[in-house]
Structure 1
Amino acid sequence: MTRSNLIGGEMLNWSDLQPGDARPAAAGPAATALLAATLHPEDTVLIAGPHAADLITAVASRVTSVDLLVRSAPDAEELAELLSEAKGEVFCGSVDRFPVDEKSSGYDVVVALDGMDRLVGPDTARFSWAEGLGRLVRQLAPGGRLLLGAENSFGFQRLVQPDIAAALPRDEDWGRNVGDRAPAGLRPLTAALDDAGVQVRRTYAVFPSLVQADVAVSSVGGFTAVVGARAVAARNEGPVLMDPYRVVLDAAEAGLGLELAPAWYFVVGADAPAVLPEGVAPEGEGVLLEEHLLMALRSDDQAELRRVIPGYVAWLGSGGAGSPDNVILDGASYRLFGEPQELDVVEHLARFAKRALESGSRQPWPAAADPHALTARLASMAGITVPEQEFTPDEVIRPRGSAEQLVTVARLADELAHASARAILFEGTVSGIRRSLPYRVGHAVLNPARVIRRRLKRVLRKVRR
């Protein structure tokens, strides 16, 4: 029967499982998939730090025994009751008080997917990230496996979201020594693991965070970048500095997707799939149709738009059910990426038009924020006529990010300046024509004829009366 043990440094009036003003526990489909891929039925496991209850019960159901190390006394009691039928113990306190049993062979697996920050409480004044790593490594049996999470202090979240919340201290933000923090950046973290004698088998980029690990990928590029970008965009739905979706894809194209990930998983001593959960990113050749169309818009390649859009519309007519953001273009063939979307052809094109305007993408036509006009223009390339509708200001689509909004404003100002210059040039040309000798001669010749014509009309009207 599972029981709870106080080891020192425990927090009596605190909960990481049900926080009032703090981060929730580590969780997510990617975390579940990683545990399923690396745990064996004969394993003895130590779970260190706050992990969601469903993760803990999933581990307990598939291994020989599981011990827990948490700093919250209420959480320890709750988990001990939850695992009453499982074999293992719950230790409540800080990791620096957790004893290393020299007589024991150690654990087969140590799981710390939440990282090091919440393995200690305020009673531990100084305890570095490297010391915490050393403590966990010493709990491993020879040849044991370590599953470690780490937050990125300068990831996509810093680029896309104003860090207003950081200025307001939370309940868990008590004063800590600067040296207690994890090394900043992937390379320093990897170097710290090497210094501890830990050989990492696989490193994952985790999206969108450790506490909501929707997807984890070992390389960020192609379709894995798309699933990562979707996860980050879904997490940042409010005001943003830059469009989250585009930031992730642009970073991946520049080869910085892994370094700028919101968090990482490090797998030591075990093999794991390249993508978690498996199947979340499609395999095979091709490019996301939306990206292909956006590239054609940016480069003013209207010939490519007129080639691809009729083919896409024909694919929809043959039973395809996907908007450009979840359809893969491979040469002249199309295939679905994700769940089908039951929309008609115009609605699929309207969805793309809206996403293109939200991204602040350049258009080969005069800039506008009218999704209906852009939809109609795209539909006409496939021979589809979209009925006109009255434009209303509510239809204006603004780019998601502040940076893209500024770029759009600059582009509109430039177009307005060019239009104004053309108007001034036209007015000057007309004025010059009117001052020219041929114009004045023609005007003098034709003007009497106009006067005679008007007078004849008046005379004829009087005669008819």
Structure 2
Amino acid sequence: MTRSNLVGGEMLNWSDLHPGDARPAAAGPAAAALLTATLKPDHTVLVAGPHAAELVGAVASQVTSVDLLVRSAPDAEELAELIGETKGEAYCGSLDRFAEDTQYDVIVALDGLERLVGPDTAGFSWTDALDRLVGLLGPEGKVLLGAANAFGFERLVQPEIGAALPRDEDWGRDVGDRAPAGYKRVMAAVAGAGLQVSRTYAVFPSLVQADVALTEVDGLAAVVAARAVASRNDGPVLMDPYRVVLDAAEAGVAFELAPAWYVVVGVEAPAVLPAGVVPEGEGVLLEEHLMMALRCDDQAELRKVIPSYVAWLGAGGSGSPDNVILERPLTGVGGASYRLFGEAQELDVVAHLRRFATRVLESGSRQPWPAAADPHQLTARLASMTGITVPEQEFSPDEVVRPRGSAEQLRTVARLADELADASARAILFEGTVSGIRRSRPYRIGHAVLNPARVIRRRLKRVLKKVRR
């Protein structure tokens, strides 16, 4: 006996909740936080598209009435049992076959609109799906919509994007079925459907793993976004994901390059999801401040900040530069202050500096010293600024840290080549200078005066050779 209502276009041997070769359903703490912040008990809700069972359960626990629309028959049965008969109905099939006349207060489509239809549906574009959902809204209806970015950070950092075979769910799909390319076109399509946007979020690292959603991607929020993107791209990459996000944020384009967006219509929501994931207050990540000093060859700043940071560690602070915030004092009086960003790390001073040195080498960051992939050498140089000597035995002599991305590796190779060419040119110049000095008359006279015995001995050898002949 089936618990769901078949509306047509259902996929009988397919699951978006438990995929074999497809994207999983929408999920993540940012998605759960958005639902918690916007749904009210008296709302009637339609959850359209594949959402993780945890999200569906969260919706069912917050409102008195919720209906589901999914294309997978196994998923519909599983979710129907989850929400129970008292909460609402589970519908299985394609959105274009969904002919119910119910008007909903809220439509939740955080997975986007691409997976609201199956292979039996042809010519049903993204904007057609949006218009169909809008037609199911009641007066003053609210929409929570997800949209994937066709040209986000993944395209910049992942080498296999263009070469990978399509997943099972991608075969035979029309290009028009996908979300409009780019943030501006997505927002234009939403406006064209007659929706007034209340708030838009940049979602990281993806719709199906929404760890964080931000209305602005700058400052410490950019660090949070960079960490989320880097955690998703831990294999071979074209460029270091962490640095790409931070550089994009500095250029003011991180929001447009986000992996996905949440579009909220008709209801206010907080600026950061989930709450507290971005530290409050002023300051800059200590790692970023030190890397800027490295790139600018500002050794005076390094020699000022690193001893101050080490003193903070000695006073009970705990944290490497990548999770410590440098707070600038409001006045020029007194030294800098620090606060932890994330969990404390039980490491000694050298280990904290070594962690920073390793991250510098992995990022391929510019340094004021000769390029090298030796964490010991860089750690020892940084530690020497505080009067600390790093023993050789604390590090493996064969340890080499390479930049994460291919682009950073090529940049490091180019820098090494420049340094080698410069050293070679200096050696040739030095050799020519020395050779010229040796051939000069003053050098020969001085050499004869300072080394008479050697000169006489050499001349006697030549005379003896001539006599023997």
Equivalent of 2:418 in 393, 414, 419: 414
Q: Would the alpha carbon gap of residues 185 and 72 (structure 1) be closer, same or farther in structure 2, given more than 3 Å must change?
A: same
Contact 2:297 2:367 in 1 (8 A): yes
Output the CA distance in 2 between the equivalents of 1:119 and 1:19: 16
Residue 447 of structure 1 and its aligned partner are, at CA, apart by: 3.0
Output the CA distance in 1 between the equivalents of 2:189 and 2:352: 49
Output the CA distance in 1 between the equivalents of 2:451 and 2:418: 42
User: Counterpart of 2:332?
Assistant: none
Equivalent of 1:220 in 214, 217, 221: 217
Q: Which amino acid aligns with 1:337?
A: F
Q: Which amino acid aligns with 1:87?
A: K
Output the CA distance in 2 between the equivalents of 1:41 and 1:338: 34
- Show CA shifts across 1:265-284 (max 9, x none): 00000110111001000111
User: Counterpart of 1:146?
Assistant: 143
In the TM superposition, 1:430-441 aligns within 5 A as: 430-441=434-445
Output the CA distance in 1 between the equivalents of 2:145 and 2:429: 67
Output the CA distance in 1 between the equivalents of 2:276 and 2:60: 25
User: Counterpart of 1:263?
Assistant: 260
Q: Would the alpha carbon gap of residues 61 and 35 (structure 1) be closer, same or farther in structure 2, given more than 3 Å must change?
A: same
Contact 1:126 1:176 in 2 (8 A): no
Residue 179 of structure 1 and its aligned partner are, at CA, apart by: 2.2
Equivalent of 1:348 in 345, 352, 362: 352
- Show CA shifts across 1:166-207 (max 9, x none): 531221122122222221000011011111110111110000
In the TM superposition, 1:49-68 aligns within 5 A as: 49-68=49-68
User: Counterpart of 1:399?
Assistant: 403
User: Counterpart of 2:29?
Assistant: 29
Residue 3 of structure 1 and its aligned partner are, at CA, apart by: 3.9
SS state of the match for residue 168, structure 2?
coil
**2:447 counterpart of 1:443:** yes
Equivalent of 1:284 in 281, 286, 290: 281
Moved more, 325-334 or 172-181: 172-181
**2:194 counterpart of 1:194:** no
Moved more, 45-54 or 78-87: 78-87
Moved more, 230-239 or 375-384: 375-384
- Show CA shifts across 1:103-125 (max 9, x none): x4x11110000001100000001
In the TM superposition, 1:232-381 aligns within 5 A as: 232-331=229-328, 332-381=336-385
User: What is the RMSD computed on CA atoms of the aligned residues?
Assistant: 1.7
User: Counterpart of 2:466?
Assistant: none
**2:167 counterpart of 1:170:** yes
Output the CA distance in 1 between the equivalents of 2:70 and 2:364: 46
In the TM superposition, 1:78-227 aligns within 5 A as: 78-84=78-84, 86-101=86-101, 104=102, 106-164=103-161, 167-227=164-224
Residue 85 of structure 1 and its aligned partner are, at CA, apart by: 5.9
Q: Which amino acid aligns with 2:371?
A: A
Q: Which amino acid aligns with 1:374?
A: L
Output the CA distance in 2 between the equivalents of 1:438 and 1:50: 89
User: Counterpart of 2:429?
Assistant: 425
User: Counterpart of 1:70?
Assistant: 70
Q: Which amino acid aligns with 1:431?
A: S
Contact 1:69 1:90 in 2 (8 A): yes
User: Counterpart of 1:461?
Assistant: none
SS state of the match for residue 180, structure 2?
coil
Moved more, 376-385 or 168-177: 168-177
Output the CA distance in 1 between the equivalents of 2:252 and 2:241: 17
Output the CA distance in 2 between the equivalents of 1:98 and 1:57: 23
SS state of the match for residue 25, structure 1?
coil
Q: Which amino acid aligns with 2:159?
A: P
User: Counterpart of 1:459?
Assistant: none
Q: Which amino acid aligns with 1:358?
A: E
Give me the identity figure in percent. Answer: 80
SS state of the match for residue 66, structure 1?
strand
SS state of the match for residue 396, structure 1?
coil
Output the CA distance in 1 between the equivalents of 2:53 and 2:395: 52
Moved more, 326-335 or 392-401: 392-401
Residue 87 of structure 1 and its aligned partner are, at CA, apart by: 1.2
Could you state the TM-score of these two structures normalised by the residue count of structure 2? 0.93
Contact 2:448 2:455 in 1 (8 A): no
Residue 97 of structure 1 and its aligned partner are, at CA, apart by: 0.7
Q: Would the alpha carbon gap of residues 399 and 444 (structure 1) be closer, same or farther in structure 2, given more than 3 Å must change?
A: same
Contact 2:155 2:161 in 1 (8 A): no
Output the CA distance in 2 between the equivalents of 1:252 and 1:165: 25
Contact 1:60 1:86 in 2 (8 A): no
Q: Would the alpha carbon gap of residues 176 and 313 (structure 1) be closer, same or farther in structure 2, given more than 3 Å must change?
A: same
SS state of the match for residue 122, structure 2?
coil
Contact 1:3 1:88 in 2 (8 A): no
- Show CA shifts across 1:21-56 (max 9, x none): 100000000000000000011111100000000110
Q: Which runs of 5+ in 1 are unaligned?
A: 455-465
Contact 2:284 2:325 in 1 (8 A): yes
- Show CA shifts across 1:84-113 (max 9, x none): 264100000000011141xx4x11110000
Residue 391 of structure 1 and its aligned partner are, at CA, apart by: 7.5
Contact 1:100 1:138 in 2 (8 A): no
SS state of the match for residue 310, structure 1?
helix
Contact 1:346 1:375 in 2 (8 A): yes
Contact 2:148 2:261 in 1 (8 A): yes
Residue 397 of structure 1 and its aligned partner are, at CA, apart by: 0.6
